Amino acid sequence: MHRFRQFALLATLLPLCWLLMMAVHELGHAVAGWASGGSVAKVVIHPLSISRTDVIPNPHPLVVVWAGPFVGSVLPLLVWWCGRRLKPTSPYLHLFRFFAGFCLVANGAYIGGGSFDPVADPAEMMRHGSPVWSLWVFGACAISLGLYLWHGLGPHFGLGAEKREIEPRVVYGSAALLLIVAVSSALFSPRI
């Protein structure tokens, strides 16, 4: 039963983190687009496509493009940090920490790695004047912090010598959230 719960948690948590990471990333683009005087024409967050935000007109494209990975990395980190302060004994805090690490690693790899074969956001960043080293610095810092957050989480996921029992409600909650987020994003977001 332990292995089944472990597998079920990872099988639902990873795609859930992916979808939520895309949503927070696109939130950064959208908020920056509105705040900088642009108009958000379309936001795509669909389980079967890569997310994107179209800001037309976009008077400050460099601000908008950097806001995606910045907000997509910092907002989950702040949510986890606030959770630690408000409810430090919560048995679910490790899930927020995992998600914050996931967002940092994903955004860092996307921006830092994207500098080598620029497409999408990394290409826009460089096209609008960001030096390639700034993408590398962002990527290295975000990935390093994300891996730091993940360090020591193994026992919460049933791994290592000090592994803990995974509660069924954590697995059910992860599966339910995945279903809600996937169906909502499929129904309410246009596909590319």
Phi, psi of 54 (to 5 degrees): -105, 115
Render pLDDT for 23-39 as a digit per residue (tens, 0 to 9): 999 999 999 999 999 89
For the cut 70, the answer to whether the pLDDT of residue 136 exceeds it is yes
Give pLDDT tens digits for 42-80. Answer: 888 888 878 888 899 999 999 999 999 999 999 999 999
DSSP state of 121: H
71: helix, strand or coil = helix
Q: H or E stretch including 179? A: helix 168-188
* Global pTM value: 0.88
Number of domains in the chain: 1
**Domain range for 105:** 2-188
What angle (nearest 5°) sits at the alpha carbon of residue 14, between those of residues 43 and 52? 15
In angstroms, the CA 170 to CA 23 distance is 22
How large is the C-alpha radius of gyration of the chain? Answer: 18
Residue 164's φ and ψ, nearest 5 degrees, are -110, 160
